[in-house]
Every structure is written in structure tokens, then in C-alpha cells.
Amino acid sequence: MLKAAWSRLEAAAQSARDRCIDSLFAAEPDRVAAMSVEAAGLYLDLAKQPWSRAEREVALDLARAGGIEAARDRHFAGAVVNASEGRAALHMALRAPKGSDFEADGEPVSAGVDAVRAAMRAFADAVGSGAKRGATGKAFKSIVHIGIGGSDFGPRLVWDALRPVTPGIELRFVANVDPADMALALAGLDPAQTLVVVVSKTFTTLETLTNAQIARAWLRAALGQAGDGHLIAVSAAPGETAAFGVPDDQVFGFGDWVGGRYSVWSSVGLSCAIALGWDAFQGLLDGAHAMDRHFQTAPLEANAPVLLALAHIFNRNGLGRPVRAVVPYAQRLHLLPTFLQQLEMESNGKQTTANGAPVARATSTTVFGDAGTNVQHAFFQMMHQGTDIIPIDILAVRQASEGETVSQAKLLANAVAQAEALMVGKSESSVRAELAAKGMATADIDELAPQKTFHGNRPSSFILLDALTPQSLGALLALYEHKTFVEGVLWEINSFDQWGVELGKTLAVAVLKELEGGAPGAHDPSTADLIARLKS
């Protein structure tokens, strides 16, 4: 049934390959209303995607054949959806209201979530109010958050998106094992007023523990052994935090059913909860929960995560487009493409199904992007006139949270205009007419007109937020989480493991031993030569 549905989608997409997207507006007078949906405070416009209404119905049939609703219900019920690791993936429980009844593989988890959340709130409030102070009695004025991957991307994005212009507590992030990253993060900070939050699910990650050791030494050098009281651990491995020397009352835990790239809603977000204040962090959770409820209850034809996923699949699998751009016209969201690179490419960059068989079709797109309008002066030349058609997600925020209104209007004008320009383009005939009107010679027009022609027909999804608030940010991130899940279900892969991350990390341990004077290992000639050069 699913195989047949895929065949129908791939056949239907062929009709869209050479058809002009903008021609669909005349053929479908209600297209904008039919291709738009509002969910959890977000407005999603898919009218500039290449599918017709009939082709969208074929895509929805694919979702039905793939059992999206049943898979979603199993996901929310805490079933083992991460089969290779034998785990549920229940990040939705982390943002559910107090007193919920989520279970992970049959084990109740909501009471534990509520307890950790209460401890987080008490700690965040104490640090923010000055009731919790450092070893010398000074209030904390800065936080250094140490983590990598899912322990870094989410909190870093949330802080960048929501931080006050003049924060009461400064929050800095360290992820890279490159010593420069830590040196820059610690520069100018007073250890007596600095809290270090070390975040690692396993508390064995090489980069994070290396940086944690450096930070602890920095604290001890200034404060003696009392500096250890400035170090907080966030982990799902209490045995490892104890082995590192962090007292239990300085550890905030979370369940092993929380995947790293889905963990910002847990105690992984503690640094943000402190620096932003608890009300903001709770707003983030509330916005994500609102999107959870929409995903659970909205019919497929009006379900924002489902429709966004199907639009991407229509381009990826129906039209063979392996790359997608994400461009937020909001400087505060400039880290969103980086966040989505991990969320989507780590989740769905798989070559085998959840049963270990080769996948039948291409999986995750390559995601890239940055903030508009900056990128209009970078890669938009390729977006408009390159040889590849690259679908794009354009995001915009109606109301500015700070700054000049005139600037916001210009920003929004660019967001809307770029979506239009990508779709409608500019014909060679109109370019020729413009050049002729300027008195240009025919020979020169023949040479220049093709260069100034825009073929258009480049699809976009447009996501509009009324304002960038904790609630709208939470809804936005949850939208992409569920969109990623839907795609994984239809590709029949496990979106919650990441074995591809492990091989390089394992080999790095062996190479490190050699760089530190150990016996040479068995390597290819190129690798052996590089190691020898680094040791010389």
C-alpha cells in the first residue's frame, strides 16, 4: 500500500516539473486559503509550493498510507520508536502541563518531569534574585554553558532569539574542543560571579568533559576548592557526574528517552531558564505544547507539521531536489538553520530503514541558510539563477521586538518580495523590452538579456510569526520536530538514533593516543602521514 502511494506521488510530481507555479493561482482561485494553515500562533503558507491541489491530495494519500496518525499516536504514547536503542522518544512530555500522564515504554514519567521542572524553577529563581550566590557571597552575573550538539544548539538558539538587549545575567556558550572557544568564553569574566553549567547526556563526551575540566580548573584557581560549588551538571547519567566529582545536589537530570537534539525542553535548557527568567522558559514550553496538541488533533489536511513535511517530500522525492534553504528574516533567528541541520540531517540522514534494509528512496535534504537580508548578498544569486532549483523556507516576524519600525518594514518587504521573485521570475521578453526602451543596440540586447532573465518557478514555504516570543519560538521548534518525525515515518527510518556520529569519534580516540606518544596504529597512508606531520 505504501509502495503504491509512493509511486502515485512520484508520478503526480512529473506534472509539476515544467509547470509554472504561479499559473496555479488562476486555475485554483481559492489556492491561498486552501494551501495555508494556522497553528499554535504560526501562519504557514504553502501556496508557492509546486503542487496543485490534486497533487497535494496525492501527498496526503501517501501520509495516510504511511500510517502517520497511528505512528504519531504511538510516539505520544511513549512506545519504543527508537528501536535500535530500545527507547521511547518522548520530548513532548517535557513541555506538557503539570500533572500530565505520559509514559515511556510503559513507565510513568510525568511526575519525574514535574519534579525536575520544579527544581529548575527554584534554582533559576534563586540565581536570578540573588538568593543563590557564589563562594565569596557575590551574586552570579554570568553563566558559561558547556555542551556540544543537542546540548548546545537548542539552548544557544533560544538564548540568541530571546535574550534581552541588556541582559541581567550574561550567558556564553562553549562547544568546540578548540581551546580558542573556551578562552573566548572565559575572557573578562569574574570566576566569583560565574556559574558553569556542563551539559552532556552521557557525561562522557570528549569535547564537553575536556572543556568542563578546563572550566573547573579556572574556578579552582580563583576560588580554591569552593569553586566546585559554581559547577552544575545536567545529565542523564548520574553515575558519570558523580565520577566527575559533581555532588548530587548540583546535578539536574533527565530521562534517557530524551534525545539530545530534542532536549532543550528538559534541564538542558537550565542556563536559558536562569538567564531569561522562568516565565520566559515556561512560555517556550507552552508554545511547544500548543504545537504538540495541534499535531495530535488536527486532521492531516490541516495539520501544519504534516503539510510542511509533505511539501518537502514532494520536492525531495517527487522532483529530485536534494537541498533546501532556510532563511529567517529575523536576525534573532539566524541560528535556526544550524539548529535544523542537526534536527533534520542527524535524524533523517539514514541509508537503512528501521529494520536494517536499504532505504527505497532518498532521505534527508541538505539544509543550509542564515539570516535575511544578509544572505541576499551571499547565495541568493544561486537561488534565483543557479542551475539547481533549491526550495526554501522563508520565515518572518510581523512585529519587531526592538529597534526602528522603518527597518522592520524594509525587512518584511524583502522577505515577501524574495518569495514572489523566486516564484514568478522575470521573462526574457520583458528584459528585452526594458533594454530596448533604454536604447540599447540589438546585438548588446542579445548578449545581455539572457543574463538578466530569471526563470522563476522556485518554490517556497512561508512561515509568519506575529511576534518573536517564547511561545512562538517554542511552537516553531516543535513544528520542525514533528515535521522531521513525519518524514522519517514515510521514509521508514529511525529518526531518533545517530550511529553515523560514532565512527569518527571512536577513531579520534585512537588517533589522540598516537598524537600523545602512543604506538602507531594501522591507518591508510594519507592518515598515517598526517599523524606523523602533527607529531613532528
194 preceded by cis ω (within 30°)? no
Contact 223, 192 (CB under 8 A): yes
One-letter amino acid at 187 equals A
Q: Which three cell numbers stand for residue 214?
A: 578546563
Query: How many angstroms separate the Cα of 100 from the Cα of each of 93, 251, 283, 410?
Result: 8, 24, 17, 44
Contact 428, 455 (CB under 8 A): no
CA 219 – CA 230 distance, rounded (Å): 8
The question of whether 505 is a catalytic residue gets the answer yes
Active-site choice (377, 404, 438, 516): 377
Contact 119, 149 (CB under 8 A): no
Q: Which three cell numbers stand for residue 245?
A: 566529582
Phi, psi of 481 (to 5 degrees): -60, -50
Active-site choice (410, 505, 513, 535): 505
CA 130 – CA 137 distance, rounded (Å): 10
Close Cβ partners of 99 (under 8 Å, ≥ 6 residues apart): 110, 114
**Count of residues in the chain:** 536
The Cβ-side half-sphere exposure at 70, using a 13 Å CA radius, reads 6
What is the 8-class DSSP label of residue 343? I
Q: What is the dihedral of CA 143, 148, 154, 156, to 10 degrees?
A: 40
Active-site choice (55, 207, 344, 346): 346
Angle at 15 between CA 10 and CA 16, to 5 degrees: 90
One-letter amino acid at 497 equals D
Q: What is the dihedral of CA 177, 179, 182, 187, to 10 degrees?
A: -170
Close Cβ partners of 446 (under 8 Å, ≥ 6 residues apart): none
Close Cβ partners of 264 (under 8 Å, ≥ 6 residues apart): 150, 154, 155, 157, 158, 272, 477
Helix (H, G, I), strand (E, B) or coil at 281: helix
CA 51 – CA 311 distance, rounded (Å): 8
The question of whether 377 is a catalytic residue gets the answer yes
The question of whether 410 is a catalytic residue gets the answer no
What is the 8-class DSSP label of residue 516? T
CA 246 – CA 357 distance, rounded (Å): 43
Going by their DSSP bridges, the two strands 170-174 and 142-146 should be labelled as parallel
Close Cβ partners of 58 (under 8 Å, ≥ 6 residues apart): 8, 9, 12
One-letter amino acid at 292 equals D
Catalytic machinery residues = 346, 377, 505
